[in-house]
Structure 1
Amino acid sequence: MTETTNDNVTEAELKKEFDDLYMHIFKYIGDFVSIPTQKYNLTFEAFMVMENVARSKNGQTLVELAKLEGVSKSAIARQVNVLLKENYVMQKVDPNDRRVKYITLTAAGSRVQRNLAQATDERFHRWLGFFGKDEAEHFIKVLHQANDRAVAAGFVGFDSLHDKRRNSNRGRTHGGRTSD
């Protein structure tokens, strides 16, 4: 797509460019980062959960993981269920409070997490080499601005755009955010 330098671009033209960019860039980025995880029957999101679990010495609870990822507990539970099914994580009950379960990596999960960390690092460096550090920093800055504006508009990041519970009229608005 050619760049538009005209200051009089219509909203319809902007929408078409946005749609085209989504189809050719944003979906590509999602696919690009997800390719290594497919080999292990995982999504990139599930791998990110594994990364957070791997960083923890004693494991993470669902609530802690949800907070780290900035998503709902049910969204994390879906990812953890996939990881449990693949035998990449296990749940350990807290001996002092049986209601608390810590998610830890299994031996297989540790191997997969290390393999994926290496593969995703390699893919990131390919991306960085393609754009260069300055352009990559600018791109990430623009994405942060978009996320900040989404949050200011009442979303908890772009993930909540798909969370009907957060976007329903059931929640009450507090300072632009919808409470659950």
Structure 2
Amino acid sequence: MSKNEKLLDKAIDVYLTALKGLGTFISEPSAEYSLSFEQYLILRMIVKNPQIRLMDIAKKRSVTRSAISRQLRPLLNHHYIEQKADPDDRRRMFLTSTAKGNEAEQKISSLVLKRFSKWIDVYGEERATQLLDLLEDFSKQIVQSD
């Protein structure tokens, strides 16, 4: 087995255990509110940016408007957000959070932070920073360049 094949096997193992596990670990609080982690992140963006537009979210997340539109449906159905027409141009729709959405975002954010803080307590702030910096660099150089 070549060095690259061994590294590939290790990368697959890390993905299946550590990275998927981290995703599950950090996304569980949003499931309590019938939201995926992606939907929670969109809700958070709407709470922090009142009157944001769908196309603004798509641009910031580097995805299509239809992808964001699909993620918005559960947020609208659970009454976490609502769409409001721009008074200057009725064709433009703003997304705003409702009181229920603000409460859900606050509670989910609190739970996510609590879980993440425990992870930092175990792993250490310096090592956590190094790991996140390495993953960010990997994302910029490899993932986003493809």
TM-score tier, shorter chain, comes to: over 0.9
- Spell out the pairing of 1:1-180 with structure 2 (5 A cutoff): 10-56=3-49, 58-149=50-141, 150-153=143-146
Residues 55-101 of structure 1: per-residue CA shift (max 9 Å, x gap):
12x32100111122232212211111121111111000111111111
Point out where structure 1 has 5 or more consecutive residues left out of the alignment. 1-8, 154-180
Gaps of 5+ in 2: none
- Matched residue type, 1:139: L
TM-score, normalising length: structure 1: 0.76
**Amino acid aligned to 1:84:** L
Partner SS state of residue 83, structure 2: strand
- Residue type of the alignment partner of 2:64: S
Question: Take 1:129 and 1:75, find their aligned partners in 2: how far apart are those partners?
Answer: 36
Describe the SS at the equivalent of 2:79: coil
- What is the root-mean-square deviation in Å for CA atoms of aligned residues? 1.5
Q: State the structure with bigger RCO (CA 8 A, min sep 6), 1 or 2.
A: 2
Structure (1 or 2) with the greater helix fraction = 2
Return the TM-score normalized by structure 2.
Answer: 0.93
* Distance in 2 of aligned mates of 1:15 and 1:116: 35
Percentage of matched positions with identical amino acids: 28
Q: Give SS of 1:30's match.
A: helix
The size of the alignment, in residue pairs, is 145
